[in-house]
Structure formats: C-alpha cells, structure tokens
C-alpha cells in the first residue's frame, strides 16, 4: 500500500523510491500485438491518476492508476489507452486562465479519431462539473454526459466495426473535507444523484454501465480524488467488466 505525505518534498521522495523499486512494472511499453482489443479510457483527473494533496501535475505511477491496474489484469490481449485530463468537464468551458481545453465534448471527437480503431470506449466524467462556480444541477451534468455518449455513437456509426461503450458514474465527493468544501459547495448531494441518472442514460443509449459510488470512496485528504487503494478496486472492477463486454 502506498502512503503519500502532504509534504511536497516527502511526496517526491516517496514517488522516486516507489518508482525505482517497481520500475519494471511502471514502464508501460507500446502494445504491439496486432490482435489486441483497444480500449479508450476518457475521463478527468481520476482517470489521469491525480494524487490527492499533491501538485497539479503529479500523478500515481502507471501500475497504481486504475487504468494500469486494468491493463495488468487484462494482459497483452488488450491495450488500455489513457485519456485523462484534470478538470475536464462534460460539455462546458472553464474560463479561468490556464484551464483552456477542458470541454470534454469538444475534444471527444478528435480523441476518438486519434485512437481509432477501438473496441471499447470507457467514459467517466462529471466530478469537475460539480464545482460551485459551474452552477450546474445533476440533471444538467447528466445532459452533458448524454451528449458525449451521442457523440461516441454518431462517430461509431461511421466505423465498420463500431466500438462498444462503458459509461462509468464517478465516486461521491465529500464536502466534510475542507478542500472539497471550498470548491464543491452543494456538490455532495448532486454527486449522489449521478449514479441513477447515468444508469438511465446507459439504458437509453444501450451502453454498459458501472457505478463507482457503491464500490469506493474518495481520499480523505481532499474529498474528491481516488486513493491508491481505490484505484486498485476500480481497476479490478473495470477489468472484469471489460471481459464481460468484449468476450460476450
């Protein structure tokens, strides 16, 4: 189990030691298996693997992130492609300086075209939309996700072998943590609604669905992001779900 310090200097030392000990695991080489099933994971900082309490650009090692855990469990017959971006929204713009390009819907089509051919698209968005400054209801966030799913399906309709879709509902945030309370006022209640609302989208759109809320909790350091232990659980659940979807 990795235990990270809130002290930036100690955090860097911990990451350096961990990476050195597990270098053979953390380096992910390109999967050159031409028969590998290709899986795009499209999300925000919880897909990128942000470390709670760290700087904006820090992330868990590849073998700790849920995408890497899933890759290790699935093996060389699958290629997991990471497309996680911190603060990525469903279909909205973040007009703060330094937050250009956070509209998930705008970037989704170029991303799909970049990584085609694909067998499966996993999409998990919605947490950054919960910020107080965005002033979005759970229903408005859900509508943004619906448009993202529609984008994937319209793109897929042009493909000879269209990819399947796995919609993932994010973990519930915790406003009792000061960091989350400062940015996500009112977000906890809305995040609790997303599971049922996203499940309805999945049913309407005919996509697979996985709700993270009953499975894992946020890290108590910031109340928003996944701990290393939660990444492990999510990776295991995703690997199981991927096999169900692609081997059916």
User: 172-213, pLDDT tens digit by residue?
Assistant: 999 999 999 999 999 999 999 999 999 999 999 999 999 999
Print the domain residue range for 76.
35-246
CA distance 117 to 95: 33
For the sheet containing 37-43, what is the strand order? 78-84, 37-43, 120-124, 164-169, 208-211
**2: in domain:** no
Pick the residue with more confidence: 33 or 14?
A: 33
Q: ∠222-226-227 over CA atoms, to 5°? A: 90
Angle of helix 228-246 relative to helix 66-74, nearest 10 degrees, comes to 40
Bridge-based pairing of strands 78-84 and 164-169 is: unpaired
Considering all CA atoms of the chain, what is the largest pairwise distance in Å, rounded to the nearest integer?
Answer: 51
**111: in domain:** yes
**89: in domain:** yes
CA distance 68 to 41: 11
Bridge-based pairing of strands 78-84 and 208-211 is: unpaired
**24: in domain:** no
Q: Quick one: pLDDT at residue 20?
A: 38
- Residues 214, 194 contacting (CB under 8 angstroms): no
Put simply, whether the predicted model's pTM sits higher than 0.85 gets the answer yes
- Number of domains the chain contains: 1
The H-or-E segment that residue 184 falls in is: none
Give the residue from 247, 232, 242 showing the smallest Cα distance to 39: 242
Q: What is the CATH number of the domain that holds 104?
A: 3.40.50.1110
Residue 26 banded pLDDT, cuts 50, 70, 90: very low
């Amino acid at each position: 189990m990795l235990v990270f310090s809130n002290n930036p200097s100690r955090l860097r030392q911990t990451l350096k030691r961990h990476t050195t000990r597990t270098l053979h695991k953390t380096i992910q080489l390109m999967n050159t298996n031409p028969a590998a099933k290709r899986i795009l994971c499209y999300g925000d900082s919880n897909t990128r693997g942000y470390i709670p309490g760290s700087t904006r650009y820090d992330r868990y090692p590849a073998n700790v992130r849920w995408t890497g855990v899933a890759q290790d469990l699935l093996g060389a017959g699958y290629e997991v492609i990471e497309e996680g971006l911190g603060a990525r929204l469903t279909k909205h713009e973040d007009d703060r300086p330094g937050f250009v390009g956070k509209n998930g819907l705008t970037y989704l089509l170029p991303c799909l075209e970049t990584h085609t051919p694909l067998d499966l698209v996993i999409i998990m968005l919605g947490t950054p939309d919960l910020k107080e400054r965005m002033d979005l209801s759970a229903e408005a966030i859900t509508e943004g996700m619906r448009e993202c799913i529609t984008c994937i399906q319209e793109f897929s309709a042009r493909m000879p072998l269209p990819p399947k879709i796995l919609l993932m509902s994010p973990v519930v945030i915790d406003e009792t943590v000061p960091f989350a309370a400062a940015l996500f006022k009112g977000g906890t209640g809305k995040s609790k609604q997303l599971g049922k609302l996203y499940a309805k989208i999945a049913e309407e759109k005919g996509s697979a669905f996985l709700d993270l809320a009953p499975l894992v909790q946020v890290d108590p350091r910031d109340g928003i992001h996944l701990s290393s232990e939660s990444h492990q659980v999510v990776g295991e659940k995703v690997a199981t779900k991927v096999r169900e979807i692609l081997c059916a």
